[in-house]
């Protein structure tokens, strides 16, 4: 394999400098003890973060003799951790904390080159210039404070050459990503602390802050104004003694409860009714609760007005958010002002949760209600000063953005909302993963009704669903035409199974070593009476949206099993038939019973049938492992499809009863011109074989790709190089003739 350019350049520099490759080249510059401690002190927060993630890396590789080395941006070693034997060995070469690594002093080394290059690097064996390092494999990468693109240092791992594995470079890259995210989050939190101090004096809400014992330590100006109570009379007293909020704070401090929009009423000194919405929640530093935060919002004026129209009529009972009626009233008011010449800006973000119906149907509705409540709380954290968040019904929410000045505000808000769903929701001690699809509609510079604006937002949201979910789409005029076409197609889809319009095509799977046919993948096609033969990309997402995907999936399983049995009876040897399971079908409660019934009715040997699942399905860990074990007990083969493109976890390969790993076509496409992609493919094959699992490569189109896969012991291939997916009669003509 060709040596990377930076290693070649480094070796040339060593040669030109007259370095003897057989002599030990030691660092020549060291920090004094005082300077080293000062340097570590200035890096203390960075080192604590790096240490946390490097320890996780060491734990995950327990049993492998590995050393983790951390340097600053100049190349001074700040920390060395890991295998004691390797640490002792390198100290003999002058490699210790406080030493400076430069190529001029130490020749070709992973620390200097990791700081020099923009991407993760590896230096294996004789890629080092000096022969005393030829038995060492090194991997390294720089890390940055990403919002400034400022280089902070490097993290490198070293090990004996016999333990080298390209997967280590991927693991190191993932650790660095986590380090950079954590450092950025901490920086943002410091900024947030400053903003909070400003907020206390600038907000129009009353703020109360206590320590962990309930002693009031902050009571801002608006709190004094709302309550007609002086700051001096409150500071230092226990908030739990307050007749108005004491019970709430007591539950916050003792039970870590949170309260949102609790309605408080009291009379001021003049006897006037004061109505506030009160929020309270614990304050944490790390995992430790250090106090409580309470906030009053004076809604007295609004309350009196809303009493006339019935407050509850404008709010959602479950989440306490404004409802559809509330949003309509707000938008109609803004549109009237716009039409009268008032300068205002207006945009809608229409949010629909992805997979909510599956969660609701396959757990229970109380889970769904809990999830909606937690989603509303998380969405509320994204509210700007002039924003309104409402629940429109079901799993649909809307952000009404008003009077924003920057045109980028709308899309930045949509992006921020998408990011809120990266972490799972904890519902009754179970992690629930969901994402959101968002349709964005910005009020144009011509008159538009509320109804039309809502249609625009809803259509854009639907497009986000069709494009793969977990994203936002901004409305454009082209979307209307697309939506009309898709609506027509959706109506036809409802009758397609009944009218027997679906067919299966079968793509051969060939054993790379013997060249023998070993199986087929069944792929659905729709023979539309008007549009002709449609591929799955045209209708599968529609079927998922309207709930018909399970019915279609059951038809596919039944047809594939029956066809395989028919071929066997006609003289074809027993081959495996693979079928993709949709997420909804995988989560249906009758899946196992249905599979048993089909296998019994078609008399197909279960060993000739394989179900393909995606990594995304496996995210519901407890459910997935139970169902997969039940499928395995039937004798059915299990393949994980598109491996490496989704929510990858090595736990899936270790714990799940998976027979086959299928390498995604995207990796095969770039196999011959993407070195990193090729490394990943080799690593997947090695990992799978070490776990006693078979490997299938899909999308093989050239002899070069096939030869690469054969060379690296990939078991099976499928793709256009062998054959496109063919109708059943063409398969019979080819393999039964």
Mind listing the pLDDT tens digit for each residue in 366-381? 778 888 999 999 999 9
| pLDDT for residue 60 is more than 80 | no
The pLDDT value given to residue 576: 95
The pLDDT value given to residue 77: 93
The answer for residues whose C-beta is within 8 angstroms of residue 564's C-beta and 6 or more apart is 520, 575, 577, 602, 604, 608, 609
Query: Residue 539's closest CA among 487, 591, 578?
Result: 487
Length of the chain (residues): 737
The pLDDT value given to residue 363: 65
Mean pLDDT of the chain: 86
Give the separation between CA 678 and CA 153, rounded to whole angstroms: 28
The pLDDT value given to residue 1: 60
Taking only the tens place, the pLDDT of each residue in 595-651 is 999 999 999 999 999 999 886 676 666 778 888 899 999 999 999 887 765 545 566
Average pLDDT, stretch 30-55? Answer: 87
Model confidence at 227, in pLDDT bands (50, 70, 90)?
confident
Share of the chain above pLDDT 70, in %: 92
The beta strands (E) that lie in 623-672 are given as 637-643, 660-663
Which letter does DSSP use for residue 443 in this model? -
Alpha helices in 161-289 (DSSP H): 167-202, 221-227, 246-255
The pLDDT value given to residue 202: 56
Most confidently modeled range among 306-320, 441-455, 627-641: 627-641
278 touches 262 (CB < 8 A) = yes
The pLDDT value given to residue 737: 64
Q: Which residues pair with 401 in a beta bridge?
A: 347, 387
| pLDDT for residue 65 is more than 60 | yes
Give the separation between CA 220 and CA 216, rounded to whole angstroms: 11
Look at 669 and 479; give whichever has higher pLDDT. Answer: 669
The answer for residues whose C-beta is within 8 angstroms of residue 399's C-beta and 6 or more apart is 348, 349, 351, 379, 382, 383, 387, 388, 389, 413, 417
Instruction: Give the position of tokens 């399971």.
Output: 581
- 333 φ, ψ (degrees, to nearest 5): -65, -45
241 touches 271 (CB < 8 A) = no
Look at 51 and 471; give whichever has higher pLDDT. Answer: 471
Model confidence at 520, in pLDDT bands (50, 70, 90)?
very high
| pLDDT for residue 431 is more than 70 | yes
Give the separation between CA 175 and CA 272, rounded to whole angstroms: 59
Query: Residue 283's closest CA among 208, 219, 229?
Result: 208
Which letter does DSSP use for residue 611 in this model? E
Average pLDDT, stretch 319-327? Answer: 90
514 touches 501 (CB < 8 A) = no
Residue 381: Cβ-neighbour burial (10 angstroms; 0-12, 13-18, 19+):
exposed
Alpha helices in 445-533 (DSSP H): 450-466, 477-496
The pLDDT value given to residue 98: 92
| pLDDT for residue 588 is more than 90 | no
pTM exceeds 0.75, yes or no: no
The pLDDT value given to residue 406: 87
Tokens coding 355? 């997979």
> b vs e for 100-133, b when ≥16 Cβ sit within 10 Å of the residue's Cβ?
bbbbebbbbbbbbbbbebeebbbbeeebbbbeeb
357 touches 547 (CB < 8 A) = yes
Which of 56-70, 304-318, 424-438, 531-545 is predicted with the least confidence, judged by mean pLDDT? 304-318
Average pLDDT, stretch 699-712? Answer: 93
Taking residue 472's Cβ as centre, other Cβ atoms within 10 Å add up to 24
Taking residue 535's Cβ as centre, other Cβ atoms within 10 Å add up to 13
The pLDDT value given to residue 198: 47
Give the separation between CA 594 and CA 557, rounded to whole angstroms: 10
70 touches 58 (CB < 8 A) = no
- Three-class secondary structure of residue 413 per DSSP: helix
Taking only the tens place, the pLDDT of each residue in 497-518 is 788 889 999 999 999 999 999 9
Strands 150-160 and 67-72: antiparallel
Which letter does DSSP use for residue 109 in this model? -
Strands 472-474 and 436-442: parallel
CB-side neighbour CA atoms (13 Å) of 422 = 6
The pLDDT value given to residue 83: 83
161 touches 65 (CB < 8 A) = no
Query: CA-based diameter of the chain, in Å?
Result: 99
Which letter does DSSP use for residue 119 in this model? S
Taking only the tens place, the pLDDT of each residue in 167-222 is 888 888 888 888 888 888 888 777 656 455 545 555 668 888 888 899 998 888 88
Look at 666 and 102; give whichever has higher pLDDT. Answer: 102
Residue 658: C-alpha distances to residues 114, 652, 716 (Å): 37, 8, 16
């Amino acid at each position: 394999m060709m040596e990377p350019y930076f290693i070649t350049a480094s070796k040339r520099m060593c040669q030109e400098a007259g370095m003897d490759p057989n002599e030990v080249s030691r660092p020549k510059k060291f920090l004094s003890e005082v300077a080293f401690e000062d340097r570590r002190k200035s890096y203390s927060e960075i080192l604590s973060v790096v240490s946390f993630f490097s320890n996780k890396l060491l734990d995950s590789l327990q049993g492998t003799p590995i050393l983790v080395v951390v340097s600053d941006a100049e190349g001074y070693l700040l920390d060395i951790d890991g295998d004691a034997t390797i640490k002792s060995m390198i100290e003999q070469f002058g490699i210790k904390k406080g030493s400076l690594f430069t190529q001029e002093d130490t020749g070709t080394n992973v620390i200097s080159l990791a700081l020099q290059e923009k991407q993760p690097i590896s230096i294996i064996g004789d890629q080092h210039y000096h022969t005393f390092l030829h038995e060492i494999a090194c991997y390294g990468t720089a890390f940055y404070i990403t919002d400034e693109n400022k280089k902070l240092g490097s993290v490198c791992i070293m090990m004996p050459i016999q333990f080298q594995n390209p997967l280590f470079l991927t693991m190191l890259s993932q650790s660095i990503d986590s380090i950079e995210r954590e450092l950025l989050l901490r920086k943002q939190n410091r900024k947030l602390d400053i903003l909070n101090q400003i907020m206390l004096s600038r907000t129009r809400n009353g703020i109360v802050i206590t320590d962990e014992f309930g002693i009031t330590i902050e009571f801002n100006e608006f709190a004094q104004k709302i309550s007609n109570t002086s700051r001096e009379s409150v500071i230092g007293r226990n908030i739990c003694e307050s007749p108005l909020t004491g019970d709430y704070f007591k539950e916050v401090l003792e039970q870590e409860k949170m309260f949102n929009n609790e309605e408080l009423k009291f009379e001021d000194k003049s006897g006037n009714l004061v109505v506030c919405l009160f929020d309270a929640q614990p304050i944490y530093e790390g995992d430790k609760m250090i106090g409580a935060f309470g906030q009053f919002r004076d809604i007295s004026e609004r309350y009196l007005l809303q009493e006339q129209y019935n407050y509850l009529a404008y709010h959602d009972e479950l989440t306490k958010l404004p409802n559809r009626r509330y949003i309509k009233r707000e938008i109609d008011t803004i549109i009237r002002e716009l039409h009268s010449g008032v300068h205002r800006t207006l945009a809608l973000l229409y949010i629909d949760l992805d997979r909510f119906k599956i969660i609701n149907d396959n757990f229970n509705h109380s889970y769904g209600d809990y999830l909606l409540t937690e989603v509303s709380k998380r969405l509320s954290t994204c509210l700007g000063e002039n924003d309104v968040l409402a629940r429109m019904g079901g799993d649909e929410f809307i952000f009404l953005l008003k009077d924003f000045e920057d045109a980028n505000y709308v899309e930045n808000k949509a992006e921020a909302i998408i990011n809120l769903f990266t972490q799972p929701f904890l519902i009754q001690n179970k992690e629930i993963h969901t994402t959101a699809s968002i349709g964005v509609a910005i009020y144009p510079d011509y008159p538009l009704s509320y109804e039309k604006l809502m249609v625009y937002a809803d259509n854009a949201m639907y497009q986000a669903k069709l494009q793969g979910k977990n994203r936002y789409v901004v409305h454009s005029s082209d979307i209307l035409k697309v939506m009309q076409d898709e609506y027509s197609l959706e109506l036809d889809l409802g009758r397609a199974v009944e009218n027997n319009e679906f067919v299966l095509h079968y793509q051969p799977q060939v054993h790379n070593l013997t060249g023998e046919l070993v199986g087929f993948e069944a792929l659905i096609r729709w023979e539309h009476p008007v549009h002709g033969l449609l591929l799955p990309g045209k209708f599968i997402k529609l079927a998922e949206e309207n709930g018909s995907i399970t019915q279609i999936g059951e038809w596919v399983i039944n047809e594939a099993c029956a066809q395989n049995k028919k071929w066997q009876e006609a003289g074809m040897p027993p081959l495996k038939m693979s079928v993709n399971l949709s997420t909804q079908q995988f989560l249906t409660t009758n899946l196992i019973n249905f599979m048993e019934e089909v296998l019994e009715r078609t008399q197909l040997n279960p060993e000739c049938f394989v179900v393909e699942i995606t990594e995304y399905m496996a995210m519901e860990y407890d459910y997935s492992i139970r169902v997969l074990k039940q499928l395995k007990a039937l004798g059915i083969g299990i393949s994980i499809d598109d491996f490496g493109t989704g929510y990858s976890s090595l736990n899936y390969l270790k714990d799940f009863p998976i027979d086959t790993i299928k390498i995604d076509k995207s990796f095969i496409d770039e196999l011959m011109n993407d070195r990193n992609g090729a490394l990943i493919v080799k690593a997947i094959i090695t990992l799978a074989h070490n776990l006693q699992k078979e490997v299938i490569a899909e999308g093989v189109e050239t002899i070069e790709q096939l030869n690469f896969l054969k060379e690296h012991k990939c078991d099976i291939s499928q793709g256009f190089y062998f054959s496109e997916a063919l109708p059943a009669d063409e398969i019979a003509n080819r393999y039964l003739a």
